[in-house]
């Protein structure tokens, strides 16, 4: 059937009808809110990410409570340590910033799902995501450190750990150390398809995690790669990941869709700092309306994400949608 019998506009005439035929829904249940935490007295603004802050531990606990009250089910924590060294040893300290934050948040807001980012770049003096040998990150030695970090996060009470360093074998190594230490119920969201992206810039300001030489091209994926994401995802499924992640989100919607079509695990997408700041600045300058935020999140869900890590989570959850 075609025009004039078939008219697509019939179902667009009223809002209620449009809602009935809606194919993609966004819900608070889909959102994960990132929180930056560090051991200091005061709360810091992050100049490149308007509205996002670096909290002291107590502040992060309060923020976690607010997030829970807004109906958001989960947070992911990023830490800025008191000191950085070559190996990033503050990442696995029992009294490290993440370990203390997790412990306190779990005491005060036990029903919130607490995810911890497992990576070394915030903790190393050189800013790379692992141990450096011959000017590059040494994969297998780094795995040993990721195991220590994951174990310390699990001991503090994290529900899920999220390795983000794109080291080969990281999921397997972490699954083993968790299982060997009776943490078989702690889940792993793997940053399985993480690209070497320009959109991480504001995050690196926020977490003080820019590499001081070279870049992350030897471990993060080249933006040109689509089939390679399939291999990365497949390996992490085999290594025991509970969920997969594509990152960034908006410039990689095709990868989100491929991942959805090919794998049955839940899929997270990370709308990263650069995506956030770009939209936020455009709204501030009246270039686009605030509703663009919802559109960006719907596009990520439509592509196939089951959940979205987004700095917009709180402001979105405050509105009805
Ligand atoms: C790496 C890590 C990065 C982000 C989170 N964890 C990126 C990187 O510096 O390579 C980026 C998140 C964002 O931009 O919002 N540990």
**Biggest alpha carbon–alpha carbon distance for the chain:** 71
Burial 231-246 (b: 16+ CB within 10 A, else e): ebbebbbebebbbbbb
Q: Is the CB of 117 under 6 A from ligand 1?
A: yes
Q: How confident is the model at residue 321 (pLDDT cuts 50, 70, 90)?
A: low
Which of 84, 106, 147, 194 is labelled catalytic? 194
Give the mean pLDDT of 288-313: 98
Query: For this structure, is 39 an active site residue?
Result: no
Q: Is the CB of 310 under 6 A from ligand 1?
A: no
Query: How confident is the model over 36-47, as pLDDT tens digits?
Result: 999 999 999 999
**CA 143 to CA 172: how far, in whole Å?**
9
Burial of 266 (0-12, 13-18, 19+ CB in 10 A): middle
Q: Is the CB of 196 under 6 A from ligand 1?
A: no
**pLDDT for residue 207:** 87
Q: How confident is the model at residue 265 (pLDDT cuts 50, 70, 90)?
A: very high
**CA 283 to CA 6: how far, in whole Å?**
38
Q: Measured in angstroms, how far is the CA atom of residue 204 from the centroid of ligand 1? A: 7
Q: Is the CB of 273 under 6 A from ligand 1?
A: yes
Query: For this structure, is 66 an active site residue?
Result: no
Give the mean pLDDT of 61-69: 98
Percent above pLDDT 90 for the chain:
97
Q: Measured in angstroms, how far is the CA atom of residue 202 from the centroid of ligand 1? A: 9
Which residue bears the tokens 């592509």? Answer: 303
Are 215 and 195 a contacting pair, CB within 8 Å? no
Q: Measured in angstroms, how far is the CA atom of residue 316 from the centroid of ligand 1? A: 22
Which residue bears the tokens 């992050």? Answer: 46
Q: Which of 203, 216, 248, when mutated, tests ligand 1's pocket best, judged by the most ligand atoms within 8 Å of its CB?
A: 203
**pLDDT for residue 319:** 84
Q: Measured in angstroms, how far is the CA atom of residue 11 from the centroid of ligand 1? A: 42
Report helix angle 97-108 to 57-69, nearest 10.
Answer: 40
Residue nearest (by alpha carbon) to ligand 1 atom 8: 200
Q: Measured in angstroms, how far is the CA atom of residue 203 from the centroid of ligand 1? A: 6
Atom in ligand 1 nearest the alpha carbon of residue 121: 16
Are 99 and 146 a contacting pair, CB within 8 Å? no
Structure letter (DSSP) for residue 287:
S
């Amino acid at each position: 059937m075609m025009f004039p019998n078939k008219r697509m506009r019939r179902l667009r005439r009223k809002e209620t009808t449009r809602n009935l035929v809606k194919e993609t829904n966004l819900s608070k249940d889909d959102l994960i809110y990132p929180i930056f935490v560090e051991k200091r007295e005061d709360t810091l603004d992050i100049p490149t990410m308007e509205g996002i802050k670096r909290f002291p531990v107590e502040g992060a606990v309060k923020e976690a409570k607010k997030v829970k009250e807004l109906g958001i089910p989960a947070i992911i924590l990023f830490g800025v340590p008191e000191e950085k060294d070559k190996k990033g040893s503050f990442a696995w300290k029992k009294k490290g910033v993440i370990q203390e934050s997790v412990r306190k948040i779990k005491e005060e807001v036990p029903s919130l799902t607490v995810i911890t980012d497992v990576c070394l770049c915030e903790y190393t003096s050189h800013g790379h995501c692992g141990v450096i040998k011959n000017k590059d990150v040494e994969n297998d030695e780094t795995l040993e450190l990721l195991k220590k970090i994951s174990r310390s996060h699990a001991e503090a009470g994290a529900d899920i750990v999220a390795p983000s360093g794109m080291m080969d074998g990281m999921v397997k190594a972490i699954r083993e150390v968790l299982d060997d230490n009776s943490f078989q119920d702690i889940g792993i969201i793997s940053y399985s398809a993480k690209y070497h992206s320009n959109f991480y810039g504001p995050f690196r300001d926020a977490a003080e995690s820019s590499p001081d030489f070279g870049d992350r091209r030897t471990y993060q994926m080249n933006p040109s790669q689509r089939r390679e994401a399939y291999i990365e995802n497949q390996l992490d499924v085999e290594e025991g990941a509970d969920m997969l992640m594509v990152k960034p989100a908006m410039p990689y919607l095709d990868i989100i869709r491929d991942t959805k079509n090919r794998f049955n695990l839940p899929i997270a997408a990370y709308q990263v700092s650069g995506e956030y700041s770009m939209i936020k600045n455009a709204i501030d300058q009246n270039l686009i309306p605030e509703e663009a935020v919802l559109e960006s999140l719907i596009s990520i869900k439509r592509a196939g994400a089951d959940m979205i890590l987004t700095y917009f989570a709180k402001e979105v959850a405050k509105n009805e949608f």
